[in-house]
Amino acid sequence: MPLLTIARNSIFNYYDYNAQNIHIDDIKFVVIHIPDQIGDAMATYPLIRALEQHAIEHLLIVCSTLNKPVFDALTLQQTQLTVMSMTMQDYATIDEIKKVANTIKKQYGTPDLCIEAMRKKNLKTMTFVGTLRAITNFQVVGLSQKCYSPVCKIPSRMDQHLRAPVTMTWATLMREAGFPAVAARYEFPLSQEVKKEVRGETAKLGRYIALNLEGSIAARTFSVSVAQNLIAIIQHECDIPIIIVHGPKGEESAEKLTQACSNVYRLPFPPSLMRSATIIKDALLAITPDTSILHMASAYNTPAIAIYADYKTRWPTMQDIAENIVVGRDIDNINMNEFEATLRRILKRIGWEQSL
């Protein structure tokens, strides 16, 4: 056994405890722990839908302040839903993590099941699990602590060795545990209020392409000059409006592009995840270097061109029509000829030529 694994297990054992064998019919109260990124939250929907179909009594989701919008419009028919947000785990303190776990126990009692959806082998994750002390726990990162259920073995192999898509791993975990089989898909429910607000603006444009230019890090974010080249190619191949999808950090670049390029727009509202998701849902085509935006497109089956600076098999395109472009470490190194050929190919697949 590697020394790192031995050291980690020694530390983790401080928070370990003996989980109980529990039949799924006795599971009434479940906690899903996912204070992480946006895409990670969207990927937990197979867990949510399996629990909903099993008609558990109470589902509590611990999310981050970043990914909370993914659950803001979620409603469950037969299950009480509680959403609790905290600092994203990367930045949360051990004290905050313990406080969240203790608050859950104090207000709602001991969970029958905690699904550790962070997919991280770190002390913060184990601190939450060991403080909450649910009757049993699910995880897919291959940990061997006694608090984790043995039904996790096959899904852990999928995640750790086969690098399977995350939604597929979660759907398999629930099926292996005896819960109803569900689709392995991303979801991002939208509120009627936001849909009405966004569509009030996009309806003026008719059909459009949603163009996202920013990833989670600088190396996955297009410069304004490269973005202008991409826009020129899009407009040469498909003369319809382009809507820039952006977060707060991309607001300045989006404004520059709308001023410099004709038939390019951005919403006249402050950027938000749900507004961006609504744009993606209604688009003819989404183009993005960011997996969060890509997962939105997958959730709504919107055709997409995914531009990867670092392709990861756990986060593939999952809609019916999609094309992938894999660039090196710097997204600005995209080959414009390849982008043009890819754009032509996907426009043909979605029938744009026939619709002219």
Mean pLDDT by 10 residues, the chain (356 residues): 65 90 95 97 98 97 98 96 98 97 98 96 94 97 93 95 96 97 98 97 96 85 94 94 94 94 95 97 96 96 93 88 91 95 96 62
**Of 313, 282, 272, the residue nearest 202 (C-alpha):** 282
Q: What is the pLDDT of residue 8?
A: 73
pLDDT at 197: 97
| CA angle, residues 309, 311, 314, in degrees to nearest 5 | 140
What is the predicted pLDDT for the residue at 329? 81
Q: Are 244 and 264 within 8 A, CB to CB?
A: yes
Residue 356 has a pLDDT of: 43
In CATH, 3-176 is 3.40.50: yes
Confidence (pLDDT) at 256: 94
What are φ and ψ of residue 160, in 5° steps? -85, -35
What's the pLDDT score for residue 353? 64
Q: Are 105 and 132 in contact (CB under 8 A)?
A: yes
- Which stretches within 2-152 are classed as H helix? 3-12, 38-42, 45-53, 69-72, 94-108, 123-132
351 burial class (0-12, 13-18, 19+ CB within 10 angstroms)?
A: exposed
Q: How far apart are CA 335 and CA 351, in angstroms?
A: 24
Q: Which of 312, 279, 309, 301 is nearest to 212 (CA)?
A: 279
Rounded Cα distance between 315 and 295, Å, is 8
C-alpha of 8 from chain center? 27
For CATH 3.40.50.2000, list the domain ranges present in the chain: 192-355
Q: Give the pLDDT of residue 6.
A: 62
User: How far is it, in rounded angstroms, from Cα 78 to Cα 58?
Assistant: 9
CATH class of 192-355: alpha beta
